[in-house]
Amino acid sequence: MKALQKISGETFADTFGPYNSAENIQNYIQQSYNDQQLTKEMADPHSQFYFINVDGRPAGYLKVNVGDAQTEEMGPNGLEIQRIYVLPEFKHQGLGSQLLNKGISIAEQLNKSFVWLGVWENNLSALKFYQKFGFKQHSDHVFTLGGSRQRDLIMKKTIK
C-alpha cells in the first residue's frame, strides 16, 4: 500500500503541481490516495493494478478498469487505462510504454474492442505519447481540482 501511495502522490504532484496550488494538490492526494480509497479500489473485481520495478524498487504502476469500474460510461466493450504513473526519477526509460502495452494486451486478452483513457489537455508530452500509440481524441470532460476546473481529453484506441 505504501508503494502505491508514494507513486500516486509523487507522480500526481510532479504532473499537476506546477500548474495548481499546493493546497489543491495536497487535498487531492489525501482524498484520492489514502488507505481507505486505495483499499476500495484494489478490492474492486473490475479493476487491476500492475507494478513495474527497476532494480527491485517500485518505479510505477498501471491501473485498468472494465465494466462499471470505468470512470466514464463506455460500455462493456471498453477497457479504461485509468493510471499510468511513473515516478519522476524513472521517466524516459520506456516504463510508460511498457505499462501502456500491458494495458492494451489485457484489453486484447479480455476481447475488448477498444482501450480508452483521460489525459489533461495541457499535458502535451502525455498527449504526444498516447497519439504515438494510436490513441485519438474521442470526447472530453471536466476534471475539478479544488476550485479549478480543468479539461481532460478522452482518448480512444480501437484494438479490434
Average pLDDT across the chain, whole number: 96
Sheet with 78-86: list strands edge to edge.
Answer: 47-54, 57-65, 78-86, 114-120, 148-158, 136-145
Chain-centroid distance, C-alpha 141: 15
Tens of pLDDT along 66-86? 999 999 999 999 999 999 999
Tens of pLDDT along 80-135? 999 999 999 999 999 999 999 999 999 999 999 999 999 999 999 999 999 999 99
What pLDDT does residue 1 have? 87
| pLDDT > 70 in the chain, percent | 100
In CATH, which superfamily holds the domain spanning 2-158?
Gcn5-related N-acetyltransferase (GNAT) (3.40.630.30)
Options 28, 33, 61, 130, the catalytic residue: 130
Q: Mean pLDDT across the stretch 34-63?
A: 97
What pLDDT does residue 148 have? 87
> Is 130 among the catalytic positions?
yes
Please tell me the pTM assigned to this model. 0.95
